[in-house]
Amino acid sequence: MRSLATASDAGSEMPYIDLDAYLGEGGGARGRIIAAAARLFRERGYQQVTMQDVAGAIGLSKAGLYHHCPSKDLILADIVGLCGQILTRQLQTASEAEGTPLGRLQRFVVTRMETIAQYQDFFTIVYQERPYLGTSTFGSIAKSAEVYRAGVRDLIEDCKACGQLRADIDAHLMMLAIDGMTGWAYVWFRDDGTQNPTRIGESFWSFLMNGVHPVEPLVAGRDRPRRNSE
Amino acid sequence: MRSLATASDAGSEMPYIDLDAYLGEGGGARGRIIAAAARLFRERGYQQVTMQDVAGAIGLSKAGLYHHCPSKDLILADIVGLCGQILTRQLQTASEAEGTPLGRLQRFVVTRMETIAQYQDFFTIVYQERPYLGTSTFGSIAKSAEVYRAGVRDLIEDCKACGQLRADIDAHLMMLAIDGMTGWAYVWFRDDGTQNPTRIGESFWSFLMNGVHPVEPLVAGRDRPRRNSE
């Protein structure tokens, strides 16, 4: 991935596809190529997949594929770039939502679970291909991951500041707990319609908010757990 | 990994190194080779590492290395086999501990966090090399993972049965939440002495047990959260 790292280091124009371009009209030919390649990279590993495999998966000739995508590394670069944009937008949407800080944090947890499930191929590749992505590229991934994590800590601190979370909560560890319980879905989520990411995200949120000890569940209109009388 | 899969499928003697052999006296030469190779595989990716690299990392000649380990695939097989044994023992130790079901579940959460941190190289490799490990080998990993997850669900159900966890908790989703918040550490844990896996595991346990809502923390000698008077 030397070429990628160099382009990025030189501060030249980002070679990655824009998220809105990807999402619009199925991303066009480039979007279809990225989605098909991502499935193959996830299943077989990036290095085992040839451009011929990618072309075959979407019914293009190899020449037709090269017309849209000059190299396999650039497809991988698109995937890495999209992952960053997807998570940035997911955090931003939750952070700017109307309502209370706790409502925004809840929205963040649930939409993160939905996002990991929706783009499971992409996120799996970023974790699987970490050694291949190389130090420079992974350094840039790590940098944007750190911005994301700082944003999550801010959401948590906002809740603490207005008394919606316990003051003794370590925001960094709570961020890691949320990150992990939702992010780990890249390993176990089955995209066969049997699992509902929204419901799973809401359950995870409920575990964290109410605790799993025997207390009555939250009553609508209240914002604190009510204990059983002992 | 065709050879591995075949050996396993045929029900022949497990080619993996035994965990006690690995742990005893630093595992001897084979143990030192495994540990050094694991670090290289994790950093550079399995396929980029040569037997020459492994030999160099522990000051052996290539011939000396081949004397102990006939192939790179067998080192990877040892790592995969050790991961399974390590997690099985971690679950078993927690499940058989004295005390209450809730105490056993707490022990499971904390020791899982410690275990992932301690063997971070091994676990990273299993996730990174998933496509390379191949369908047969990964099928056998998935099978032992399913046994492990069933054991965790049992721990949770035991707590529910004696009223130590809320009856409405979905044991499968709670298992996934625990699995994820601790397992994700393979990505973020830094083995530089700045992070304490035991303390992190205890914090994660506290988030789950008490919830992060504003209630007083557990008082020593009590087993339920005490709410602030409103």
The percentage of chain B sitting over the pLDDT mark of 70, rounded to a whole number, equals 84
| Tokens, residue A67 | 């017309």
> Which member of A45, A47, A210 has the closest CB to residue B211?
A210
For A165, the closest chain B residue by CA position comes to B213
Chain A residues with CB inside 8 Å of B204's CB? 173, 177
Give the best residue of B170, B213, B219, B229 to mutate against chain A (max A CB count within 10 A).
B213
Element (H, E) at B72: helix B72-95
Chain B residues with CB inside 8 Å of A43's CB? 131
Contact call for A177 and B204, based on CB within 8 A: yes
pLDDT given for residue B223 in this prediction: 45
If you write DSSP's letter for every residue of A75-144 in order, what string do you get?
HHHHHHHHHHHHHHHHHHHHHT-SS-HHHHHHHHHHHHHHHHHHTHHHHHHHHHTHHHHHHHHHHHHHHH
Beta bridge partners of B193: none
Chain B residues with CB inside 8 Å of A128's CB? 127-128, 130-131
Q: What is the pLDDT of residues B97-116, one digit of tens each?
A: 999 999 999 999 999 999 99
pLDDT given for residue B27 in this prediction: 67
**Shortest CA gap A54–chain B (Å):** 17
Q: Which residue has the higher pLDDT, B212 or B31?
A: B31
Given a contact cutoff of 8 angstroms between Cβ atoms, the answer to whether A69 and A33 are in contact is yes
Domain boundaries, chain A: 2-215
| Tokens, residue A212 | 């799993």
Beta bridge partners of A216: A226
If you write DSSP's letter for every residue of B120-181 in order, what string do you get?
HHHHHHHHHTHHHHHHHHHHHHHHHHHHHHHHHHHHHHHHHHTTSS-TT--HHHHHHHHHHH
Q: Please report the number of interchain residue pairs, chain A to chain B, with beta-carbon separation below 8 angstroms.
A: 153
Chain B residues with CB inside 8 Å of A230's CB? 224
User: Apex CA A120: angle with CA A36 and CA A32, to 5°?
Assistant: 20
Contact call for B176 and A43, based on CB within 8 A: no
Chain A residues with CB inside 8 Å of B42's CB? 131
Give the best residue of A76, A181, A199 to mutate against chain B (max B CB count within 10 A).
A181
pLDDT given for residue A142 in this prediction: 81
Phi, psi of B213 (to 5 degrees): -65, 160
| Tokens, residue A102 | 């706790």
Query: What is the architecture of the domain spanning A2-215?
Result: Orthogonal Bundle (1.10)
Helix axes B101-118, B171-183, angle to 10 degrees: 30
Contact call for A214 and B166, based on CB within 8 A: yes
pLDDT band at B26 (very low <50, low <70, confident <90, very high): low
ipTM here: 0.84
Q: What is the pLDDT of residues B53-79, one digit of tens each?
A: 999 999 999 999 999 988 999 999 999
Give the best residue of B212, B228, B229 to mutate against chain A (max A CB count within 10 A).
B212
Chain B residues with CB inside 8 Å of A188's CB? 176, 179
CATH topology of domain B15-210: Tetracycline Repressor; domain 2 (1.10.357)
Contact call for A181 and B185, based on CB within 8 A: no
Beta bridge partners of A227: A215
**Shortest CA gap B155–chain A (Å):** 14
Q: Which residue has the higher pLDDT, B157 or A140?
A: B157
Mean pLDDT by 10 residues, chain A (230 residues): 36 67 82 95 94 96 92 92 95 97 97 97 92 77 90 97 92 96 94 93 94 57 42
Q: Which of B73, B58, B68 is nearest to B21 (CA)?
A: B68
Element (H, E) at A68: helix A62-68
| Mean of per-residue pLDDT scores for chain B | 85
- pLDDT of B42 strictly over 50: yes
Q: How far is CA B149 from the centre of its chain?
A: 12
Q: What is the pLDDT of residues A16-54, one digit of tens each?
A: 789 998 988 766 889 999 999 999 999 999 999 999 999
Dist CA A145 CA B162 (whole Å): 42
